[in-house]
C-alpha cells in the first residue's frame, strides 16, 4: 500500500549511499517505512527510489516557516519607519504588535550590563517601546520542545532532525537552565567601547577550542558512515562530539544571525567523494579547527548562545533544545544592529559614516586582490615544488649516481673515494628532491591556508558593506522624506542614529579584523620563514656533508 | 685583364666580411690583386665576387700534397707487410727507400733516452732498418722556408699564410735552432712505462698556460677585425699572441699527428655572429683556456714540437718557420705508433689486446651516455634556474610587498612592524630570485663545461678505438696469410708486436684519461657543491634575517 508524504526540507543525496534527493514541497511515495535508523525508502514522481531521512517528510504536515539554513535576504525594511517590519516578526509572540514600526529605533545609553534586558526594559524618549522579541531570551522558550526520551540512540544518524516528531513538551526542564549556563554574558559582548577607537568588548580570557580525534562512525547497521570530531573548549576541557553537518548547522545559524554585521567565513568545502580518506579528514579537521578558532576569537560570536551551545551542550537533550531555540531566534539579519550598543560614543555624522564605509570597502577590495594574487603565486609555486622541481633534482641525483657507477666500471685503481663521493652527492640530490616535494606542506601550506581563510573572510565583506551602503542611501533620502512629510524630523534623526550605530559596528568589526589580520600574518609569515630557513639550512648541511666526502686537492 | 688562379686550400668565407668561399682545386679569376693586407679580390665560376686570402691561390702552382688541416683518413696500410707504405712517404728524403715495406716494424727495447735517435740508430734482429724519416727532425728542415724580411708587419691579418710567396730560403737561420730549443725532450715523452700499468712518461713539472687578455685588433685599415689572446706558458711566463684561427691551426696539426692514438678534443665551436660580444669572447677564452690546459696536461701533446712552437715561438719568423715545418710533418696518423716505445713491457697476446680494446670501448661508450645524460639534465636545470624559478620567486616577493602595502593603507595603528617585515621578506624573495638566476653561472656552468669537454673527448674515442679494432682484425687474418704463404711467420710476429704496442698506447692513453677524469670530476664536483652550499647558506641567512624582523609573539 503506497503512502504519500510531503517533503519538508530539501535533501541532497550523497552519491553511492542509496539516497534520494528531494525538494521541499515535493510529494513522494513511501515504499518502505521500516528501514530504521531514521530512514525511509521513498519514490519520487520520476519513479526514482532511494533513502530519505524520515524527518524530512511528513504526511499532511504544513511546510515549516523557517526551513533550511540559508541566510534571510538582507532586509532593510527596519529603516522604513512607516511600514511595520514584516521579516523578523516573531511567530508566537503577541508583543510584536507593540513593536510599532521600529524594532530598534533608539539605543540604550545605559552603561550597565545585560544589554538585551535593558533594551526591553528601558524605552527612551519619544521612541516607541522596544519589546523583548528582538533580544534572545524568554520568547523562544515558549516554543514546543522535543523530548526524545531516554531510549534515543546517542549517535543515530539523524537524531538532530528528530525534534519535529517530538511526542511531548518538557518546557520546564530545558530551555532557561541551559541557556543561562551557556549564555550568561552574551548580552555584554555586543557592546562597542571607544577608548582606542570603536572596538568590540573583549572578554578577559580568550575562548578557544581544539578540534581533534576524528572518528568514523556508522549508522543503520553500517549502511551509512560519517566522521565525528571531538571539540574541546578551553573553558571546560570537556569534549563534545560534532559531525561536519553540525558545524554546517552552526555556520548557517551564525550567518543568519550575524552576517549583516560580522563576516562569517564559510566552512571548508563540502566534499562528497573521498570524504573518508585520511588525507581529506585531516585537512577538513585542520580547516574546521581554523574556522572554530576564528569564531572563538570573535567576542560577539564566541559569546553568542548558539556558539556556546555548540561548545558546551551537556547532553543530547540539551543540544536538541538549544538547536530548536537557535532555529527560532528572530534577532537575525539587520536586527542584530538593534542589539549593539556603542558605549559612550557620540553619534557619527553621515559623511563620516560614508567615509568609513568607503575606506573599508577600498581596503577589503585591495586586500582581497592582494590575497588572491598571493594565492595564485603560491599555488603555482606549490605545483612547481611538488612537480617538476623535485623531479629535476632527482634526475640530477640519478645522473650523478649513474656517472659514478660508470666510473666504478673503469677498472682504474684508486677512484673509490671519487665514486663513493659522487654516489653520495647523487643520493643527496635525491634527498633534496624529496625535501623540496615535501616542503610546501611544512610552510607554503600554512601561508596558503591563512590566505584562503582571509579570502573567505574578505568575500563576506561586500555583503556586509552592502548592508551599510544601503542604510546610508536610506538616510540620504531622509531629507526628501521629511520635506514630503513622509517621516518626521525626529524619525530622520533616529535613522541617522541607526546608521551611526551600524558604522560603529562596522568600525569595531574592522578593528577586530585588523588586529586579527596583524596577528595572523605575523604568525604565518614567521612560521613560513622559519620553515624556509630550516629547509635551506638542511639542504646546505646535506650538501656540505656531500662536499666533505670528496678528496681535497 | 683577367688573371686566372688556382685555389690551393679550402677557404670558408666569414659572412658579412666580403669574403668568398673557395675550394681546393677550384679555378678562380682574380679581379683585384691590389687589395693589400694579404687579400685579393676574386670571382668564381658562378660569378660570385669576394675577398680570398692571397696565399690560398696561386698561378700555375701545383696542388700541395698536405693541404688543409683535416685529418688524413686512417691508413692501416702499414699493417700490410707486402706493400710499401704510400701515405707518409717523405717527399724529399731519399732514405725512404731503405724503409722497405715496414716503417716501424720493431720496437727498440733499449731503455736509454732519445727514442727517435735510437730508433734510427738501432735496427733490431731480422727487421729492416728504420730511417729517420719517421721521427721528426732533420727531414722537414730540408723544405723551403719562407722569409718575410724585416719589414713584415707584425700583426698583419694573414701573415701566417704568407710562407708560400716567400722570396728566399734561409735554411741555416731557422729550423734546427728553434726546434732544438723547443723540442729538446720531445722524443722521450712517447715512452710508455709500466710500473703501475702502461702510462705515458710524465714530465717532472706540469706544463700549463694562461689564456688571457683578449684584445680586438683590426687589419686592412679596419676592414677586418679579430680577437687576439695572450697565451703565457708557465715555463717562460712570456706571453705569445694567438687568434682563434691559430688555435684552430694547432688543433688540426695535433689531430693529424696524434689523432690515431690520443683523442684530441675539438676546439670550442667557431661562431661567426656575435663573435665580438664581450660575453662570447669571455666564453671562448675560457674554453680555449680549458682546451689548452687539457693539451698541456698531456705529456705527449705538451712535449710535441708543434705545441711547443705554439707556446714559445720567439718571433714572427720563428713562428712561420715552425708552422711550415709542422705542416710538412709526416709522422702523422697511424705513423705515430712507430714512435711509441713501451719500455720494459712484454708483448701482449692478441686476446689481451682485444679485451683491453673492448673494455675501453664499453667504458667510453657508457661514460659518453652518462655525460650526455648529465648534460641534458643540467641544461634543463639551467633553463629552470634562469627562467621560471626566479620569475616565481620574484612574483612571491612582489605579492608579499603588495600585500604589505595594502596593509599599510589600512589606517590601523601599530602595524608598521608587520608591514616593514613583510616588505623586507618580499624584497628578500626578490633577492633570492636574482640569486637563483645567477647561481648557474657560479656552479652549474663549470659542471656543464667539464662535462662538455668530456663529451668532446669521448666523441674522439670511437675513431681512436676504430683504428685499434682494425689493427686487431688485421692481426687475426695473419694466420690465414701465413697459411697461404702471403706473409712469413716472422712477419706475423711483427704484426702482433705492432698490435701490442698500439694496445699499450691505448692503455697509456686510457690511464691518462682516467687520472685526468678523476682529477677533473673531483675538482668540478667539489666546486659545484661548494658553490651550492654557499648558495643555500646565503638564502638561509637572508631568510633568517627576514624572519628576525617579525615580532616574536
Say whether A396 and B406 touch across the interface (CB within 8 A).
no
Q: How far apart are CA A82 and CA A77, in angstroms?
A: 9
- % of chain B with per-residue pLDDT over 90: 47
Pull the grid cell for residue B414. 601599530
CA angle A287, A292, A297 (to 5 degrees): 130
Say whether B396 and A406 touch across the interface (CB within 8 A).
no
Render pLDDT for B135-176 as a digit per residue (tens, 0 to 9): 222 222 222 333 233 333 333 334 443 333 333 333 333 333
Q: How far apart are CA A550 and CA B148, in angstroms?
A: 54
Looking at residue A281, its pLDDT comes to 87
Say whether A403 and B370 touch across the interface (CB within 8 A).
yes
Q: How far apart are CA A146 and CA A373, in angstroms?
A: 49
User: Annotation-wise, does B282 bind a ligand?
Assistant: no
Say whether A367 and B402 touch across the interface (CB within 8 A).
no
Looking at residue B15, its pLDDT comes to 63
Say whether B392 and A402 touch across the interface (CB within 8 A).
no
Burial tier of B132 (Cβ tally within 10 Å: 0-12, 13-18, 19+): middle
- Of B141, B190, B183, B167, whose CA–CA distance to B298 is shortest? B190
Say whether A526 and B403 touch across the interface (CB within 8 A).
no
Q: How far apart are CA A329 and CA B439, in angstroms?
A: 64
Q: 3-state DSSP helix/strand/coil percent for chain A, to nearest 5?
A: 55, 10, 35
Distance to chain A for B509, nearest Cα, Å: 12
Contact B258, B301 (CB under 8 A): yes
List Cα–Cα distances, A164 to A31, A90, A151, A229, A313, in angstroms: 22, 19, 17, 26, 20
Contact B403, A370 (CB under 8 A): yes
Say whether A373 and B407 touch across the interface (CB within 8 A).
no
Confidence label for B40 from pLDDT (cuts 50, 70 and 90) = confident
Contact B455, B371 (CB under 8 A): yes
pTM, full prediction: 0.71
Looking at residue B417, its pLDDT comes to 93
Phi-psi sector, B547: left (phi>0), alpha (psi -120 to 50), beta? alpha
Task: Return the residue matching grid coordinates 666569414.
Answer: B14
Q: How far is CA A134 from the centre of its chain?
A: 23
Chain B neighbors of A381, CB-CB under 8 A: 392, 396
Q: DSSP string spanning A13-36?
A: PPTTTTB--B-TT-EEEEEEEEEE
Beta strands (DSSP E) in A37-180 are 39-43, 49-53, 57-58
If you measure CA to CA, which chain B residue comes closest to A384?
B389
Beta bridge partners of B217: B226
Residue A242: which H helix or E strand, with range? strand A240-243
Say whether B367 and A392 touch across the interface (CB within 8 A).
no
Q: How far apart are CA A235 and CA A308, in angstroms?
A: 11
If you measure CA to CA, which chain B residue comes closest to A383?
B392
Looking at residue B398, its pLDDT comes to 97
Chain B neighbors of A525, CB-CB under 8 A: 418, 421-422, 425, 550
Helix B444-483 / helix B416-442 crossing angle, nearest 10 deg: 20
Say whether A374 and B403 touch across the interface (CB within 8 A).
yes
If you measure CA to CA, which chain A residue comes closest to B533?
A540
Stretches in chain A below the pLDDT threshold 70:
1-2, 15-17, 36-38, 59-189, 270-276, 553
Chain A neighbors of B366, CB-CB under 8 A: 406, 409
Say whether B543 and A551 touch across the interface (CB within 8 A).
no
Distance to chain B for A406, nearest Cα, Å: 6
Distance to chain A for B443, nearest Cα, Å: 13
Distance to chain B for A470, nearest Cα, Å: 23
Known binding residues of A: 243, 245, 284
Looking at residue A224, its pLDDT comes to 79
- % of chain B with per-residue pLDDT over 70: 73
Distance to chain B for A424, nearest Cα, Å: 11
Burial tier of B391 (Cβ tally within 10 Å: 0-12, 13-18, 19+): middle
If you measure CA to CA, which chain B residue comes closest to A378?
B396
Contact A283, A449 (CB under 8 A): no
Pull the grid cell for residue B32. 683585384
Looking at residue A271, its pLDDT comes to 60
**pLDDT, averaged across chain B:** 77
User: What's the length of chain A?
Assistant: 553
Across the interface, which of B400, B415, B536 has its CB nearest the CB of A543?
B536
Beta bridge partners of B341: B191
Contact B190, B300 (CB under 8 A): yes
The DSSP bridge pattern shows strands B49-53 and B209-219 to be unpaired
Render pLDDT for A448-501 as a digit per residue (tens, 0 to 9): 999 999 999 999 999 889 999 999 998 989 889 999 999 999 999 888 888 999
Non-local (6+) Cβ contacts of A313 within 8 A are A178, A240, A319, A322
Across the interface, which of B511, B521, B529 has its CB nearest the CB of A543?
B529
If you measure CA to CA, which chain B residue comes closest to A415?
B518
Pull the grid cell for residue B490. 716472422
- Of B121, B128, B88, whose CA–CA distance to B337 is shortest? B88
H, E, C per residue of A122-145: CCCCCCCCCCHHHCCCHHHHCCCC
Q: Does the interface ipTM go beyond 0.90?
A: no
Pull the grid cell for residue B464. 681512436
Say whether A373 and B546 touch across the interface (CB within 8 A).
no
Say whether B533 and A544 touch across the interface (CB within 8 A).
yes
- Of B513, B441, B455, whose CA–CA distance to B268 is shortest? B455
- Of B430, B455, B441, whose CA–CA distance to B382 is shortest? B441
> Which of the residues B206, B413, B425, B529 would you substitute to probe the A interface, choosing the one with the greatest number of A C-beta atoms within 10 Å?
B529
Confidence label for B422 from pLDDT (cuts 50, 70 and 90) = very high
Chain B neighbors of A380, CB-CB under 8 A: 392, 395
pLDDT at B531 over 90: yes
> Which of the residues A521, A523, A541 would you substitute to probe the B interface, choosing the one with the greatest number of B C-beta atoms within 10 Å?
A521
Q: How far apart are CA B374 and CA B451, in angstroms?
A: 8
Q: How far apart are CA A276 and CA A284, in angstroms?
A: 11
Count of beta carbons in the 10 Å neighbourhood of residue B110: 15
Task: Return the residue matching grid coordinates 691590389.
Answer: B34
Chain A neighbors of B523, CB-CB under 8 A: 553
- Of B77, B122, B124, whose CA–CA distance to B103 is shortest? B77
List Cα–Cα distances, A442 to A112, A382, A446, A530, in angstroms: 48, 11, 7, 10
Looking at residue B342, its pLDDT comes to 85
Across the interface, which of B367, B400, B537 has its CB nearest the CB of A406?
B367
Distance to chain A for B195, nearest Cα, Å: 13
Looking at residue B36, its pLDDT comes to 64
Residue A240: which H helix or E strand, with range? strand A240-243
pLDDT at B285 over 90: yes
If you measure CA to CA, which chain B residue comes closest to A417?
B522
> Which of the residues A359, A371, A384, A399 would you substitute to probe the B interface, choosing the one with the greatest number of B C-beta atoms within 10 Å?
A399
- Of A183, A193, A196, whose CA–CA distance to B413 is shortest? A196
Render pLDDT for B10-37 as a digit per residue (tens, 0 to 9): 787 776 667 888 888 888 888 887 776 6
DSSP state of A438: H
User: Annotation-wise, does B243 bind a ligand?
Assistant: yes
Across the interface, which of A373, A403, A550 has its CB nearest the CB of B526?
A550
Q: How large is the average pLDDT for residues B212-232?
A: 85
Confidence label for B126 from pLDDT (cuts 50, 70 and 90) = very low
Chain A neighbors of B551, CB-CB under 8 A: 522
Say whether B522 and A550 touch across the interface (CB within 8 A).
yes
Say whether B403 and A367 touch across the interface (CB within 8 A).
yes
If you measure CA to CA, which chain A residue comes closest to B403?
A370
Chain A neighbors of B403, CB-CB under 8 A: 367, 370-371, 373-374, 521
> Which of the residues B195, B522, B535, B552 would you substitute to probe the A interface, choosing the one with the greatest number of A C-beta atoms within 10 Å?
B522
Chain A neighbors of B356, CB-CB under 8 A: none
For chains A and B, CB pairs below 8 A equal 180
Distance to chain A for B446, nearest Cα, Å: 15
Q: How far apart are CA B162 and CA A60, in angstroms?
A: 117
Say whether B547 and A553 touch across the interface (CB within 8 A).
no
Across the interface, which of A384, A421, A519 has its CB nearest the CB of B525?
A421
Give me the sign of the Cα torsion angle A315, A316, A319, A325.
Answer: negative
Pull the grid cell for residue A518. 596583524
Burial tier of A18 (Cβ tally within 10 Å: 0-12, 13-18, 19+): middle
Chain B neighbors of A518, CB-CB under 8 A: 407, 412, 414-415, 418
Say whether A537 and B533 touch across the interface (CB within 8 A).
no
The DSSP bridge pattern shows strands A191-193 and A341-343 to be parallel
Amino acid at each position: 500500500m503506497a503512502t504519500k508524504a510531503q517533503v519538508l526540507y530539501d535533501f541532497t543525496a550523497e552519491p553511492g549511499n542509496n539516497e534520494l534527493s528531494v525538494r521541499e514541497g515535493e510529494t513522494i511515495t513511501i515504499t518502505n517505512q521500516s528501514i530504521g535508523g531514521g530512514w525511509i525508502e521513498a519514490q519520487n514522481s520520476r519513479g526514482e527510489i532511494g533513502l530519505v531521512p524520515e524527518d524530512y517528510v511528513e504526511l499532511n504536515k504544513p511546510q515549516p516557516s523557517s526551513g533550511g539554513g540559508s541566510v534571510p535576504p538582507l532586509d532593510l525594511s527596519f529603516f522604513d519607519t512607516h511600514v511595520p517590519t514584516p521579516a523578523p516578526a516573531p511567530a508566537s509572540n503577541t508583543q510584536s504588535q507593540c513593536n510599532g514600526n521600529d524594532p530598534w529605533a533608539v539605543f540604550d545609553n545605559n552603561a550597565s550590563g545585560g544589554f538585551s534586558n535593558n533594551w526591553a526594559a528601558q524605552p527612551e524618549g519619544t521612541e516607541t517601546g522596544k519589546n523583548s522579541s528582538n533580544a534572545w531570551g524568554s520568547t523562544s522558550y515558549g516554543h514546543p520542545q522535543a523530548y526524545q526520551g531516554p531510549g534515543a540512540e546517542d549517535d543515530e544518524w539523524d537524531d538532530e532532525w528528530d525534534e519535529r516528531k517530538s511526542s511531548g513538551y518538557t518546557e520546564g526542564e530545558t530551555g532557561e537552565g541551559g541557556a543561562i549556563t551557556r549564555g550568561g554574558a552574551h548580552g555584554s559582548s555586543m557592546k562597542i567601547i571607544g577608548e582606542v577607537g570603536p572596538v568590540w568588548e573583549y572578554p578577559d580570557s580568550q575562548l578557544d577550542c581544539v578540534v581533534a580525534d576524528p572518528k568514523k562512525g556508522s549508522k543503520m547497521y553500517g549502511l551509512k558512515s560519517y566522521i565525528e570530531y571531538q571539540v574541546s573548549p578551553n573553558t571546560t576541557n570537556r569534549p563534545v562530539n560534532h559531525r561536519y553537518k553540525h558545524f554546517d548547522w552552526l555556520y548557517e545559524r551564525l550567518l543568519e544571525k550575524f552576517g549583516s554585521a560580522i563576516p562569517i567565513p564559510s566552512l571548508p568545502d563540502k566534499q562528497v567523494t573521498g570524504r573518508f580518506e585520511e588525507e581529506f579528514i585531516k585537512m577538513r579537521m585542520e580547516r574546521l579547527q581554523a574556522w572554530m578558532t576564528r569564531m572563538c576569537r570573535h567576542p560577539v560570536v564566541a559569546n553568542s548562545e548558539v556558539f556556546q551551545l555548540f561548545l558546551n551542550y551537556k547532553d543530547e537533550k540539551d543540544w536538541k533544545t538549544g538547536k530548536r531555540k537557535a532555529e527560532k531566534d528572530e534577532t537575525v539579519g539587520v536586527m542584530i544592529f538593534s542589539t549593539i550598543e556603542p558605549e559612550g560614543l557620540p553619534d557619527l555624522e553621515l559623511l563620516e559614516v560614508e567615509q568609513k564605509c568607503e575606506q573599508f570597502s577600498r581596503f577589503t577590495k585591495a586586500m582581497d586582490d592582494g590575497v588572491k594574487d598571493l594565492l595564485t603565486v603560491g599555488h603555482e609555486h606549490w605545483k612547481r615544488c611538488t612537480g617538476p622541481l623535485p623531479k629535476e633534482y632527482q634526475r640530477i641525483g640519478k645522473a650523478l649516481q649513474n656517472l659514478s657507477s660508470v666510473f666504478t666500471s673503469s677498472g682504474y685503481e684508486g677512484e673509490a673515494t671519487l665514486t663513493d663521493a659522487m654516489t653520495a652527492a647523487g643520493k643527496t640530490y635525491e634527498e633534496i628532491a624529496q625535501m623540496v616535494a615535501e616542503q610546501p606542506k611544512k610552510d607554503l601550506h600554512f601561508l596558503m591556508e591563512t590566505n584562503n581563510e582571509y579570502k573567505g573572510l574578505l568575500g563576506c565583506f561586500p555583503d556586509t558593506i552592502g548592508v551599510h551602503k544601503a542604510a546610508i542611501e536610506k538616510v540620504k533620502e531622509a531629507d526628501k522624506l521629511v520635506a514630503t512629510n513622509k517621516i518626521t524630523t525626529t524619525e530622520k534623526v533616529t535613522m541617522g542614529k541607526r546608521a551611526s550605530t551600524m558604522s560603529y559596528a562596522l568600525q569595531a568589526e574592522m578593528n577586530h579584523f585588523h588586529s586579527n589580520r596583524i596577528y595572523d600574518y605575523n604568525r604565518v609569515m614567521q612560521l613560513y620563514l622559519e620553515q624556509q630557513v630550516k629547509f635551506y639550512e638542511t639542504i646546505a648541511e646535506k650538501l656540505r656533508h656531500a662536499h666533505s666526502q670528496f678528496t681535497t686537492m
